[in-house]
């Protein structure tokens, strides 16, 4: 029995050695410094203070058509060079990378609301017809840094 086990183990080792030498197994990659954030297309890691930061910018998509047909306005947005978080006040101005939130106004209302979730905006119960939503990208002291207005039409029959 011992002879059988020894032969089986040696045979398995020989098969493994043959398989490894016969296949083109690449050598493990040599560790190197990652490319700078701009070169890789990734934003800077939000855990390292930045010596300088490009200005924040806001991108807002048009409402999702399938939802708009049901009377539900879903607006996706993205903040570049600013992380959306629910942190407010002057002390937060020194946080790096930069943080902030959005302000939202519907149909030129004299008031707005602030949102720090970073999630898509969902607005419901707008009557059929044309509407516009203004979204402002704001710093922790509510100073607006960039803004976009999205215009759309809630179709008749879309209101619930």
Pairing of strands 129-138, 144-154: antiparallel
Give the domains, in start order, of the chain with CATH numbers: 56-154 (2.60.40)
Query: CB within 8 A of 149, min separation 6: which ones?
Result: 132, 133, 134, 135
Pairing of strands 113-115, 144-154: unpaired
pLDDT greater than 50 at residue 10 = no
The pLDDT value recorded for residue 156 is 86
Q: Which of 63, 86, 85 is nearest to 76 (CA)?
A: 63
pLDDT greater than 80 at residue 35 = no
Average pLDDT rounded to a whole number, residues 89-118 = 95
Average pLDDT rounded to a whole number, residues 127-146 = 97
Residue 115 exposed, middle or buried by CB count within 10 Å (0-12, 13-18, 19+)? middle
Residue 121 exposed, middle or buried by CB count within 10 Å (0-12, 13-18, 19+)? buried
């Amino acid at each position: 029995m011992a002879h059988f086990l020894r032969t089986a183990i040696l045979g398995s080792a020989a098969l493994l050695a043959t398989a490894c030498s016969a296949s083109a197994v690449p050598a493990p990659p040599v560790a190197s410094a990652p490319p700078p954030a701009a070169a890789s297309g990734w934003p800077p890691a939000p855990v390292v203070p930045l010596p300088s930061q490009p200005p924040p910018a806001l991108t807002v998509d048009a409402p999702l058509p399938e939802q708009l047909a049901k009377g539900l306005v879903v607006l996706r947005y993205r903040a570049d060079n600013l992380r959306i978080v629910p942190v407010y006040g002057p002390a937060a101005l020194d946080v790096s990378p930069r943080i902030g939130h959005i302000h939202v106004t519907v149909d030129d209302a004299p008031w707005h609301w602030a949102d720090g979730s970073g999630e898509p905006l969902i607005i419901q119960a707008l009557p059929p017809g044309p509407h516009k939503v203004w979204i402002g990208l704001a710093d922790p002291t509510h100073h607006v840094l960039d803004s976009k207005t999205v215009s759309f039409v809630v179709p008749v029959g879309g209101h619930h």
